A and B are shown apart, each in its own frame.
Chain A
């Protein structure tokens, strides 16, 4: 494949950002992921799909450092990644959202999104204790960055509302805001549209496309809504029972017999 190319809608897809090579993940005797390789290119929207229990979320957890695969290598930005804890992965520029919303319920929307900036904040305990000076400057600089995200996702009105009081759809958006605030190179979205109605899905799809377009963020997402996946993504990985059964553009995947079998079932005679 060429090193970089321009898509039909005029976005430039760059070289390989993340490369998963021969990943195998076992829980005791169960092989959740079996020898899977795929890459994510800079600037693209990459979808991971598959039936329930296919190992999609496990794959995302491998990328974000929750699980450490027994075999295989993770390459990020041209270098092999050593075994890392999730907070080191975050510092490398990988942010994510969760399938079940994982916001900090006791804090306001603003504080939640500010939390996304933690990897950018460097002042020590003592300057924070004094507050005036370095800590306040840093707080204000990061607040400006956060306000841009808040504007972008149109959640200005709920800035100071405690997250616990928000409805489901808005919580999902706040979680996206928190991930975006980190200004990630790679954004992982675990079922960003689960449990949403059509209008909320449209909103969320628009935000995902806008994020990719305006910030140039590479996005990897897991989603069950095939219409959304086929419309949004540049390339799709299909998993079933921990194996990779398809990889390619939405059109290629749609025509893949193995994929059709996995989703529709095969007649056993």
Chain B
């Protein structure tokens, strides 16, 4: 009975345009934050960090980035893996070239560099739309991976062609390199996720977001109300790539530590993030969290159920995983194109009226 707008009067437009208009939602949001910051760091272990929480957080940033481009601005992109690679290699070059600068700054700079690259690859979006744009971004994906393989300067001429994250500290605590504690990895990712999500939310609820959505919903009408399509699309590519670059930088430096570009940032990564966005919900920040969580947890959950509980062979479970993910994507595309976020929205709408049907 407490999930109601009734009695919670908004007396200013500031209050009316806030992220969580219902009081219970606001409490829940603070509760989630409190658990994430004050409880999990103390109970986290290596398995939870490496198998679930750290990839979840990093993929969430990538999904937020792609969601801004695809969900809010309506531009399909299959270049996510390539842009994550840009973030990762920018991070590597910055870490090795300026070892004394804090890596927090490196991560942000890596995002900025990716934003520039993303905007450059966004230029074709002015002329081509839909599937054709997807193919153009696919070219970005393959070109970038090829570039990082081919030009030795990017991996500092190392013999293996890999990039390895050197050990770096934030406030005296190792956050990259082999000696990093689970909680430190988790915390640095959590900080970036929190900031990225807030920025994304602010951008999408204001002028910027309206421009993007106007372009998505009807580009002719958007132009007539004064949206410059060039500016709107390129800013979406830039902001989206900024987030994807940050996630690529963290994926390389904090999560993996050593990266071979074709393996870590190949086309599969582009599809994985796209699936997260589709399953989670296009045009929803919460959906990015839901989608990333779902696709990170699903393989782990299937492994726990299949291998540990039922005792099936590992390879069968691994194949089953692919089948299930494929089937789920088809299910979502047919049944609920707005993804998990829509289930959540419907549940909230029902809850608001509960116990009455309408």
Contacts and interface: CB of A to CB of B under 8 A. Distances in A.
Interface residues of A, number: 41
A100 B199 CA distance: 36
A136 interface: yes
B35 interface: no
A217 B220 CA distance: 23
A150 to B, nearest CB: 12
Interface string A96-111: 1010001111110001
B352 interface: no
A224 to B, nearest CB: 22
Interface of A is mostly: helix
Contacts of B217: 103-107
Interface string B141-166: 00000000000000000000000000
Contacts of A115: 210, 214, 222, 225
Interface of B is mostly: helix
B202 interface: yes
A103 B221 contact: yes
B207 A104 contact: no
B225 A128 contact: no
A135 B223 CA distance: 22
Interface string B66-79: 00000000000000
Contact of A125 (B221, B224, B239): B239
A90 B235 contact: no
A143 interface: yes
Contacts of B184: none
A131 interface: yes
Contacts of B229: 87
Contact of B218 (A95, A103, A131, A147): A103
B227 A118 contact: yes
Interface string A174-217: 00001100100000000000000000000000000000000000
Contacts of A12: none
B221 A104 contact: yes
Interface residues of B, number: 32
Interface in B203-247: 203, 205-208, 210-211, 213-214, 216-218, 220-229, 235, 239
B194 interface: no
Contacts of A103: 217-218, 221
B197 to A, nearest CB: 12
B14 interface: yes
Contact of B225 (A66, A85, A116): A116
A228 to B, nearest CB: 24
B9 interface: no
Given A87-B229, A125-B208, A125-B239, 17 more contacts: A64-B224, A85-B223, A85-B228, A90-B223, A96-B224, A98-B221, A102-B220, A104-B218, A106-B283, A115-B210, A115-B222, A118-B210, A118-B214, A119-B226, A131-B206, A135-B207, A182-B225
19 contacts: A85-B228, A87-B223, A95-B224, A96-B224, A104-B213, A106-B217, A106-B283, A111-B210, A115-B214, A115-B225, A119-B226, A125-B239, A128-B206, A128-B207, A129-B202, A131-B205, A135-B202, A139-B13, A139-B17
Query: Nearest 10 CB-CB pairs, A to B?
Result: A90-B226, A102-B221, A104-B217, A131-B202, A119-B226, A86-B223, A143-B13, A121-B207, A129-B199, A140-B13
